[in-house]
Structure 1
Amino acid sequence: MQKKALKVNPTDNVIVALVDLSANEKIVVEDLEFTILKDTKAKHKFASVDLEEGDSIYMYGVIVGRALYPIKKGEVITTENVKHKSAKVEGKTETTSWTAPNIDKWIDKTFMGYHRPDGQVGTENIWLVFPLVFCENRNVETLKDIFEKELLFDKPSKHQLLLRSLINDNTETVETNEVEDYRVFKNIDVKFITHQGGCGGIRQDAEALGRLLAGYVNNPNVAGATVLSLGCQNLQIDIFKKALEKISPNNQKPIVIYEQQKSGTVDEMLNGIIKDSYEAIKQANEIERKPAPISKLVLGLECGGSDGFSGISANPTLGRLSDLMAAIGGATILSEFPELCGVEQELVNRCVEEKDAERFLQLMKDFEDSVIAAGSSFDMNPSPGNIKDGLITDAMKSAGAAKKGGSSPIQDVLDFTEYIHKPGLNLLCTPGNDVECTTALVGSGSNIVLFTTGLGTPTGNPVAPVIKISSNNALVEKMPDIIDFNTGEIITGKKSIDETADELLEFIIKVASGDIKTKAQLLNQNDFIPWKRGVSL
């Protein structure tokens, strides 16, 4: 029988409703009886004790808010009676101990990946086409149209066929399985990126974009790239090359670079790009999948469209998985610094190096200061959807979001655009914005992104598979076309976190081996938005 409510941590003074609760309903949680004073929807919280004005609200064992008014035992907490509050952190207070999970069943597991000369292993084989400046977006779009029609012809979608039937005034729509599936190259995909940066903004944003794009070229999922430049922009070819050299001094990936202001007419430039890129793509198609230990996986950890169940089902599942990867020798990257507000002390104490603890706190401070300077603050991070589904303060949202990082030691702290170089758990400074965060994770080396959600989001990436993980059963039933994996049975009590994490790792291995395409890949959801520092939560 499913529990009706859950106290997450023994020190908490709020309890999570696992199902809708009615006013005057009596429920029992950990042998204590509670009377629900007002209708409380699933995912929301009610007070487990009487609270006075100014009292701190605890959940997940940390401060997540303060009472604006007296709140009675059994009363639901809302944005009207609770405001954001988080604990102050000055520095490392202790070194957290960690017991690694048993990895006997995983130690010899492999996936079928693309081995790169630098030792990285990709889960995809991508030829990437992108501009250094937005002035070249049209040329990239032209190339995209040409290559997709001639090189990467796939079955048209049912929506294309619907429009085709309307144009031809046909009453019968052709089924997609009646159309021949033909691809010139079976072993490589060509992906295209456009963006609005590279010039016109501050030089620091152009330089950051150059580092980000260099990270994409260096990502193990990328076999090589075609780069378009106008010539006069802030993000010069030289800046991009130096950024790539810093990440990969001995880069052996082929890169085709064209500068329009040195190439004559558009036709002349496109002809050269098509010929040179085709030859390089043909060679990259010869790379085949080979077995690789799962320690070669770099998993980006992210959440978006979170709900009140995310912190007790989907995110702890990723936390368990992150711990398994750390024990195996693989790597995970925990991002979204605005969603770590309130749990800094735990994370600082988990940093292996004192310098990383100090850097984490400094990055958090600098980020929050920039947000405040823009007239906002971290406590404005929860979205209307978050609040509607039970995440009413940033600290509450953060405490649940941090569960994605498990409990293993933090091996490194990376700033935006810095590339991962240590196994184990890494922290990466990014905003919480879904696409900006995913974009940054892949630029720092993630070859798969794990994305938990309670409300649903179609987010994908042109280079790395994005596995969408639901926190609840209702979402899977409502949006099966965007959800890859479900952790909702943790809420119903049918499965444990450990059991679900094992199933998720098996699923990841299949995605990494190319046996399963993610829903975002099937939908051709290729999102790319570079972060402009200081303007995003």
Structure 2
Amino acid sequence: MKNKLIKVHPEDNVAIALTDLWQGDKLDFEGEEVIVLSDVKAKHKITMVDLEPESKIYMYGVLVGKATSSIKRGDVLTVDNVKHQASTTTEKTATVSYTAPDISKWKERTFMGYHRNDGQVGTQNVWLFFPLVFCENRNVELLKDVFEKELSFHKSSKQRKLLRNLISGENIELSEDKTQDEEPIFDNVEVRFITHQGGCGGIRQDSVSLSKLLAGYVNNPNVAGATVLSLGCQNLQIDIFQNALDAINPELDKPVLIYEQQQEGTIDEMLNKIIRDSFDGIKKANEIQRQPAPLSKLKLGLECGGSDGFSGISANPSLGYASDLLAALGGSPILSEFPELCGVEQELVNRCVDEEKAKRFLKLMRAYEDAAEASGSGFDMNPSPGNIKDGLITDAMKSAGAAKKGGTSPIQDILDYGEYVTKPGLNLLCTPGNDVESTTAMVGSGANVVVFTTGLGTPTGNPIAPVIKVASNSILAGRMPDIIDIDSGAVIKGEKTIEEMGEEILEYIIDVASGETTAKADQNDQNDFIPWKRGVSL
């Protein structure tokens, strides 16, 4: 590796170590000699200037922290000598100039998707089972066991075969190859199941919020139809759910089968009825075929999790370029995780297409941060132990890199949790920074594919939308090939540009959206679903 340090923005006063550095190392950086004063692990930061207590620290051209003690040029930044600090944003101060990327090679491209009558296009064709309340989780699990076993949607795992070997004392081959009688009965539809812990108890607003999320899943173009289980007496009543559906799409014509246990008799009677009706719906959904669709029909969830010090200089900006390409093509990228936008508000506010959008973004951010502080927490407590260990030592530092997923295109709309994406171009969606809660929310707002960048590795998936994993570094990609789809480490090594990697990501998105490639999360049957209870969740 030729370069051992990188400075992301000309105005930054710190640089990122691209490889492990050792005390006494002498580096030629930007035409000057830098003497490393302490051992520095790759991904961590060293200061390029002498810092005194209260000195401001800049990365990505924004304020990301302040020194709590004297730090000499060439020394490492740590949680012991740096504290979170971010600039205050109160209004839109400028309109950011923007030049859209060249999309000439992409204009005529299509993906093979499932066309719905409302004009949306799915990247998957799913029949979805879910409860309105946690009391029905057991019945959903019973239905899952029946449908998955009888329809052979999921192959027997190596771990089940290993346990079978241990029980029998035999040595059966641990491959996952399907036998002839394990082939799925339907080849053009998948059956997925959601359970959750909401719908009753807590505050009524939680149930209303959950109803909007579940309605968004039904309306998502990846869903062909749904089977919904209700108990009857819970807070999330059937009419609340139906009102949420009507609010999102009053013309919805998908089959939505709803069953209320307290009106259906015995469990066996209800389950038998559900199985008969749902099987008929699944058969009809299997008749829907993939057809060409323009890339403008893609709604792309932008997610990061298990981030490291390289995420903001390789995977995230590469995804950001793919996001800009898609926005220019009329698609709808979705940037969420509001706690991880702390410190970059001014840039985002200035990118909003009008004053109304800017004000709504700031209002949602302030309300969220105030709620966090009222509970004794705050955005400054957002970095996880894994983030800190790998170089992200303040929330603003983490946020400045995380926001790169959103590229540079204008922000067309600001959405609160549970609201559905309707406008082309970049959308901001208020969600927690928690990986699964955020991914769950973006799919509920219409994302038909998600790209998830990670520096440490995470298995996160979703029940109805493919989740594509992009590693920030090649070490991770080599260590966890079973969960990583794309390795952006070539950017760190100087082998590819951000633009080249962004185009590679977009190509992969098209393949996955067309069903030509299966995302690793789907291969692993990773179906995570966590609704956000509007209390504080960072």
Secondary structure in 2 matching 1:58? strand
Question: In 2, Cα distance between the equivalents of 1:70 and 1:437?
Answer: 38
Offset, 1:126: 0.2
- Rounded Cα–Cα distance in structure 1 between residues aligned with 2:33 and 2:174: 61
What pairs up with 1:24-35 in 2 under 5 angstroms? 24-35=24-35
Output the amino acid matched with 2:398.
Answer: K
Matches within 5 A, 1:70-469: 70-173=70-173, 175-177=175-177, 179-180=179-180, 181-469=182-470
TM-score under structure 1 normalisation? 0.99
Q: Deviations 1:467-499 (Å, cap 9, x if unpaired)?
A: 011000110111111111110110000111101
For residue 162 of structure 1, report the CA deviation from its aligned partner. 1.4
Q: Whole-Å Cα distance in 1 between the matches of residues 493 and 404 of structure 2? A: 19
> Structure 2 counterpart of 1:303, which letter?
C
Please state whether the residue corresponding to 1:345 is helix, strand or coil.
Answer: helix
Specify whether residues 331 and 178 from structure 1 end up closer, same or farther in structure 2 by C-alpha distance, changes over 3 A only.
closer
Higher alpha-carbon deviation: 158-167 or 425-434: 158-167
SS at structure 2 position matched to 1:529: coil
**Whole-Å separation in 2 of the counterparts to 1:330 and 1:272:** 40
The one-letter code matched in structure 2 to 1:533 is R
TM-score (norm 2): 0.99
Do the aligned partners of residues 364 and 385 (structure 1) sit closer, same or farther apart at CA in structure 2, a change above 3 Å counting? same
AA at the equivalent of 1:125: N
Shift of 1:30: 1.6
Query: How far is the alpha carbon of 1:160 from its aligned partner?
Result: 1.6
Opposite residue 170 of structure 2, the aligned amino acid is N
Q: Return the offset for 1:218.
A: 0.2
Letter in 1 for 2:135: C
- Following the alignment from structure 2 to structure 1, what is the Cα–Cα distance between the partners of residues 13 and 57? 6
Partners in 2 of 1:155 and 1:325 — Cα distance? 35
Secondary structure of the structure 2 residue equivalent to 1:452:
strand
Matched AA of 2:432: P
Paired letter, 1:253: K
**AA of the residue aligned to 1:33:** E
CA contact (8 A) 2:16 2:43 kept: yes
Specify whether residues 175 and 61 from structure 1 end up closer, same or farther in structure 2 by C-alpha distance, changes over 3 A only.
Answer: closer
8 A contact 2:322–2:503 mirrored in 1: yes
Aligned equivalents of 1:174 and 1:60: distance in 2? 48
How far residue 151 of structure 1 moved from its aligned partner, in angstroms, is 1.6
Matches of 1:465 and 1:116 in 2, distance apart? 18
**Matches of 1:409 and 1:376, distance apart in 2:** 32
Q: Deviations over 1:83-125 (max 9, x none)?
A: 0000011100011110001001100001100000000000000
In structure 2, stretches of 5+ residues that fail to align are none
Residue 64 of structure 2 aligns to a residue in which SS?
Answer: strand
Cα shift at 1:535: 2.0
Contact 1:476 1:483 in 2 (8 A): yes
In 2, Cα distance between equivalents of 1:154 and 1:252: 29
Query: SS in structure 2 opposite 1:111?
Result: strand
* 1:429-471 alpha-carbon deviations (Å, 9 max, x no partner): 0001011011001000000011000000000000000001100
The AA in structure 1 aligned to 2:526 is Q
Percent of pairs identical after alignment?
67
Aligned residues of 1:367 and 1:534 also touching (Cα < 8 A) = no
Q: What is the distance in 2 between the residues matched to 1:476 and 1:171?
A: 31
SS of equivalent residue, structure 1 residue 194: coil
The amino acid of 2:92's aligned partner reads K
Q: Partners in 1 of 2:391 and 2:407 — Cα distance?
A: 22
Amino acid aligned to 1:165: N
Measured at CA, do residues 101 and 175 of structure 1 come closer, stay the same or move farther in structure 2, by a change above 3 Å? closer
User: For residues 492 and 165 of structure 1, do their structure 2 counterparts lie closer, same or farther at Cα, with a shift above 3 Å needed?
Assistant: same
Contact 2:344 2:403 in 1 (8 A): yes
Cα shift at 1:178: 6.3
User: What is aligned with 2:493?
Assistant: 492
Single out whichever of 153-162 and 250-259 deviates more from structure 2. Answer: 153-162
CA distance in 2 between counterparts of 1:178 and 1:143 reads 22
Asked if structure 1 preserves the Cα contact closer than 8 Å seen for 2:153 and 2:190, the reply is no
Q: Which residue does the alignment assign to 1:476? A: 477
Q: Is the 8 A contact 1:165 1:173 kept in 2?
A: no
Structure 1 residues without counterparts, runs of 5 or longer = none
Report the Cα distance in structure 2 between the residues aligned to 1:444 and 1:152, rounded to whole angstroms: 30
- Deviation readout 1:400-431 (Å, 9 max, x if unpaired): 00101111000000000000000000000000
* 3-state secondary structure, aligned to 2:453: strand
User: Offset at 1:177?
Assistant: 2.8
Which amino acid is 1:414 matched to?
L
Q: 2: CA distance between counterparts of 1:311 and 1:337?
A: 16
Deviates more, 1:293-302 or 1:166-175: 166-175
CA offsets per residue over residues 334-362 of structure 1, 9 Å max, x none?
00000000000000000002111001001
Q: Distance in 1 between matches of 2:354 and 2:282?
A: 43
Q: Which residue of 1 aligns with 2:528?
A: 527
CA deviation vs aligned residue, 1:28-58 (integer Å, no higher than 9, x gap):
1221210000001110000101111111000
Whole-Å separation in 1 of the counterparts to 2:175 and 2:338: 46
SS in 2 for 1:477: helix
Residue 174 of structure 1: how far off its partner (Å): 5.7
Say if 1:198 and 1:234, in contact at 8 Å, map to a contact too: yes
Q: Structure 2 CA distance, aligned partners of 1:77 and 1:514?
A: 45
Deviation at 1:159, TM superposition (A): 1.4
- Decide whether the 8 Å contact of 1:155 with 1:179 is kept in 2: no
Higher mean Cα deviation, 22-31 or 257-266?
22-31
CA distance in 2, matches of 1:219, 1:105: 28
Contact preservation (8 Å) 1:438, 1:461:
yes
